[in-house]
């Protein structure tokens, strides 16, 4: 990590093709701010993303990038980090990517605790493919895949992470870039797997349903009104897992801020023989003779 002060503009790349006012613009801006505040340079970072509108973020952020398969950002990101621990590794994607097709990877990445920051742009729909019902869509959400309204209740990614031993967990809102930037700085600084779920509204495919007060849910104004800022709760201690669960239950997961953090060795701390040096710098004895020896073990 470089100590040189950098401007967020260093991380600007091509202009996003997201719809005007898409929540993902806020996530991109916050990540550029956070990288600059941490004194990172583009060559220090890699963003590994899944597939979706959200998955395009690495094309719009000037650093190394890997646009993987749908739901597969996490295994690739963990491999990148273990192969080159000197890189700051960000995994990113959407709610469909991370909590639907990639859900299995999610809970295992949580319990594995590799030093990767996972940023999920949760817009409660499949944005890229035109607004189908996603794992976090509200009950009753109607779309082409659930024309009569979704019979299912949404998955609870924050609770899944807590239940599986996450060592850093927060929720942000793309309408509050200041808080989101601060959360990203903390998430990247945390040694271990950090999960940052961001309520990042899709402005094109909005939930078609209203809450009990008749207010349209899932839009910027609704989140601004209903997210409970944990940082304003004077007695809240984010080091108590049971208290974190209680907050999520009490506020129906509509919280913003740091939910939980714990200081525990990351995955590589348990690997015997792991040098912590990039593989590319190791003198690996992989000449033809060694390869023959390895092959012989499988004959």
Ligand X SMILES: Cc1ncc(C[n+]2csc(CCOP(=O)(O)OP(=O)(O)O)c2C)c(N)n1
Report the nearest approach of ligand X to the CB of residue 119 (Å): 12
- Which residues, at least 6 apart from 249, have a Cβ–Cβ distance to it below 8 Å? none
Stretch binding ligand X (CB under 6 A), from 117-125, 182-190, 212-220, 285-293: 117-125
Cα distance between residue 277 and residue 273, in whole Å? 11
Site track for Mg ion across 107-136, x = CB under 5 A: ----------------x---x---------
Instruction: Match 């005007």 to its residue by tokens.
Output: 20
- Tallying the residues shown for the chain, one arrives at 299
Q: Which does 204 bind (CB under 5 to 8 A by kind): ligand SF4, Mg ion, ligand X, none?
A: ligand SF4
Residue 51 touches ligand X, criterion: CB under 6 A: yes
Give how far Cα 270 sits from Cα of 10, 214, 215, 266, 267, Å: 36, 52, 49, 8, 6
Q: Does 91 bind ligand X (CB under 6 A)?
A: no
**Ranges within 132-161 binding ligand X (CB under 6 A):** 134
Longest dimension (CA), the chain: 73
Residue 19 interacting partner from ligand X, ligand SF4, Mg ion, none (CB closer than 5 to 8 Å by kind)? ligand SF4
28 contacts ligand X (rule: CB under 6 A) = no
Q: Which of the listed partners (ligand SF4, ligand X, Mg ion, none) does 203 bind, with a CB threshold of 5 to 8 Å by partner kind?
A: ligand SF4
Q: How many CA atoms lie within 13 A of 32 on its CB side?
A: 19
Does residue 94 belong to the site contacting Mg ion (CB under 5 A)?
yes
Cα dist. 152→120, 139, 140, 182, 256 in Å?
A: 21, 6, 8, 34, 25
Per CB under 6 A, the list member of 48, 97, 175, 194 interacting with ligand X is: 97
CB atoms within 10 A of CB 285: 9
CB of 97 to ligand X, least distance (A): 3
Interface contacts to ligand SF4, rule CB under 6 A = 18-19, 22, 24, 53, 123, 127-128, 202-205
């Amino acid at each position: 990590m470089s100590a040189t002060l950098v401007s967020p503009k260093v991380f600007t790349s091509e202009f996003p093709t997201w719809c005007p006012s898409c929540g993902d613009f806020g996530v991109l801006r916050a990540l550029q701010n956070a990288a600059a505040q941490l004194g990172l340079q583009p060559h220090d970072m890699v963003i590994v993303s899944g597939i979706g509108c959200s998955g395009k973020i690495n094309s719009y952020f000037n650093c190394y990038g890997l646009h993987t398969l749908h739901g597969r950002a996490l295994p690739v990101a963990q491999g990148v980090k273990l192969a080159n621990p000197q890189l700051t590794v960000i995994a990113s994607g959407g709610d469909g990517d991370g909590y639907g097709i990639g859900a299995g990877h999610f809970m295992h990445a949580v319990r594995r605790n590799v030093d990767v920051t996972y940023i999920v742009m949760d817009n409660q729909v499949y944005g890229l493919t035109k607004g189908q019902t996603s794992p976090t869509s509200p009950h009753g959400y109607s779309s082409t895949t659930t024309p009569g309204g979704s019979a299912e209740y949404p998955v609870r990614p924050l609770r899944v992470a807590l239940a599986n031993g996450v060592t850093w967990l927060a929720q942000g809102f793309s309408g509050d870039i200041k808080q989101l930037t601060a959360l990203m700085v903390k998430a990247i600084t945390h040694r271990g797997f950090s999960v940052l779920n961001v309520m990042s509204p899709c402005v094109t495919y909005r939930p078609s349903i209203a809450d009990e007060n008749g207010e349209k849910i899932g839009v910027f104004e609704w989140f601004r009104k209903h997210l409970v800022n944990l940082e304003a709760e004077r007695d809240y201690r984010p080091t108590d897992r049971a208290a974190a669960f209680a907050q999520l239950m009490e506020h129906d997961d509509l919280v913003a801020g740091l939910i939980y953090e714990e200081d525990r060795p990351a995955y590589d701390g348990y690997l015997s023989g792991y040098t912590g040096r990039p593989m590319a710098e190791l003198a690996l004895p992989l000449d033809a003779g060694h390869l023959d020896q390895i092959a012989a073990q499988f004959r």
